[in-house]
Structure 1
């Protein structure tokens, strides 16, 4: 048995996947499936991908259907950083055009911590352990 986080986007999956792989260390695209001729999504666009984000496998899907729901902060990707510089860089990139839920600070349970929604609505907790 294996459990894998699954992120469903509506047209922005490839852009999100690229941002995450470029921003979080130890991240890379494992494989990509694209929509073909006659399928529901636009031909050639990302359909489904497997990526490693910080070494954790995550599936990324581009839904051709509009849904009445999106991401919620009650599910987030938690990233432990190795330095203050790394935390600040990741928060800076992911928070751009997004929303800070908890600005970077010392909240007592770590040296520095930030919680944010990125511009795609995916929630991230970025942590510098004590």
Structure 2
């Protein structure tokens, strides 16, 4: 069992969010749904929490009510190998009212923020040639969804 797991507070959408996330990421599944009983505070039989895995990592989603909301101050960083993976995740997380943000960040319809980032970006930003990494950083800062070909063009000075 994973020692530390993200715990996400939703306002009645925990099961819907968990179903969306497990449909998007491979090696993902719902592992348990807990329902409110006689003691409440939710309606008896309604979903209290959903435990699920994304890419083998444990998460817990709670239907805790409107007291707290999400903020981009906490986000999930997703390493992507290909542009197709970037495009697919970007599209699926943006469905139903998601909000694209700068530099590969997107907030889904539940308010959870994700960073959809090609692994090649890290390699380019760590290059010992400061001019190359600076060009890549400048290109990235001008993007919303990250474009690997455009980042590589900046890296190569094209």
| TM-score range relative to shorter protein | 0.7 to 0.9
Correspondences of 1:31-70 after superposition (within 5 Å):
31-63=32-64, 65-67=65-67, 69-70=68-69
Larger radius of gyration: 2
Aligned to 1:109: none
Aligned to 1:122: 112
Aligned to 1:18: 19
Give the unaligned 5+ runs of structure 1: 104-113
Rounded Cα–Cα distance in structure 2 between residues aligned with 1:62 and 1:16: 11
Number of aligned residue pairs: 118
| RMSD over equivalenced CA pairs, Å | 1.7
Q: After TM superposition, give the deviation of residue 47 of structure 1 in Å.
A: 0.8
Which is helix-richer, 1 or 2?
A: 2
Rounded Cα–Cα distance in structure 1 between residues aligned with 2:57 and 2:107: 19
Deviations 1:75-112 (A, max 9, x none): 01111123221221111011121111126xxxxxxxxx
Rounded Cα–Cα distance in structure 2 between residues aligned with 1:47 and 1:59: 11
Deviations 1:23-67 (A, max 9, x none): 11221111111122441112322211211112211111111x431
SS of the aligned residue for 2:78 comes to strand
Aligned to 1:74: 73
Give the unaligned 5+ runs of structure 2: 121-158
Contact kept? 2:10, 2:66, Cα under 8 Å: no
1:100 and 2:90 correspond: no
